[in-house]
Structure 1
Amino acid sequence: MTFSIVGRSADGQSLGVAVASKFLAVGAAVPAAEAAVGAIATQAFANLAYRPQGLALLRTGTAAADAVAGLVAADPGRASRQLGLVGPTGDGATYTGDECFDWAGGVAGDGYAIQGNILAGPAVVAEMERAWLAGPGLPLARRLHAALAAGDAAGGDSRGRQSAAILVVRPGAGYGGLSDVELDLRVDDDPDPVTRIGSLISLWELYFGKPDPATLLPLEGELAGEVRDRLAALGHADLAAWAGIENLEERLVDGAIDPLVLAQLRAAQPK
């Protein structure tokens, strides 16, 4: 009922899951991840206990393949299960039970595992792997989404489309640096959920992405005057006050302005 990818970033610091399905709110059932530990996707007749159990095994240093073997060996319903798992190092691992509905299967390699069931055919998994391998320079969320989009374009879930989700964890990467959940986005019921989740990633990048130091503009001279005048016209005493209202506070930098923030300020209209 689902196709998914679990993956690790090229620098080994980010771990994540992307998933799509003809299933309501697939993000509530399939993915789990823990920073510096691993990521897991449980699907088909999903055993949701795999999520905490798999992460617990990885937390002890168990290799992904051994963790998968341990999970399915202890599960009397393993013939109808499917899962993928990746740890902080080494190859990912995938498992497809003999009773999963066709087409079902998966592939795994260094830092990733891809799997799906009730798919349009094996090209779904093959295209997901091709897209994943083609994008090592992408941020993990974008790389996972590229793989998901490739699978969707190859036919995805043979029953149709309904939901998608993406979860990425990285130490200290959450809001305000106070959690490890970098990104957690879900489309629960939509006719084109993979495209929609891509749009949500773009919004996340705007609001919560970190500014590129190379592009920051010093707040001085004419630019400082323009920013001050625009803020005054909008009824705000300073940039921090306006940015907080607009949910752009994560992009603030002392003494400079992010070009993305400046573009949003220039587009803002007085109420």
Structure 2
Amino acid sequence: MLPRTMRVGSGELTFAPFESTDSNGRLAAWAERANVQVAGKLDIRRLRKSVKVEKAVAFRGMVNDIADDHTAETFLGHYAHGTTLRVLSGSTVTTAQQTWLDRALEGPVVLDEPAVEALAGPEALKGLGLTVDQAERIRQGELDMGVTSCRDPYDSPYNRPGELCAVAPLRCLECRNAFVLPSNLPQLLLFADHLEGLRKRLSPPHFQQVWGLARTNLASVLAERGAGELEAAHQQISEQGLRLQLPLSSLVEFDA
């Protein structure tokens, strides 16, 4: 193929065979003209690897997207090492960390008595994303789902919109819609006993996978309650003969 030149605007664009490894080749000539300093051997294949690394960064390690001009096997055999592999590994680790961080931060809103009284205030409504009607119904106990109250039982993250939440109250302590009020304390204590019984019956990995987040959030909620509140709640349980209100299906837990 012979060099071919065409005029573009006020300049010229030349097409010619590319010699990637020849010290007198086009890449070397371009680098010299552009005053580009390259450590090591000047080879066009190094540019190709750099492009692959940039694509790995841009696509966060999705091999099918990065390997768009050859097979995934070729990419894994020729590019998935060194810098590219570190990018892929880092993306995988940070994605997993973000997933667990989102789960850890996604939990109930805990309110004390003063906060419950101020729930209908405009600042509280705006900060919590509640309507006036939702706030009033929470205060009156109309949205009590058992161990917590709920901003909207028909807008559950575990169900399709418009369907009544099917996992309350078992998943309430992991839900962004949940509000823990002082009046929920007796049921929370009973739920803590329920989880403790499950922990003794199930294998540690299974218990942690299914109930670990709920137990962690529950422990955090109870840690914020004073000794007097806990004692009064235990007394209420005893005097009123309160029992944990759970679906019948939750009374059996299989370690599978």
**What TM-score comes out, normalization by structure 2 length?**
0.25
Normalized per residue, which structure has more helix?
2
**What TM-score comes out, normalization by structure 1 length?**
0.24
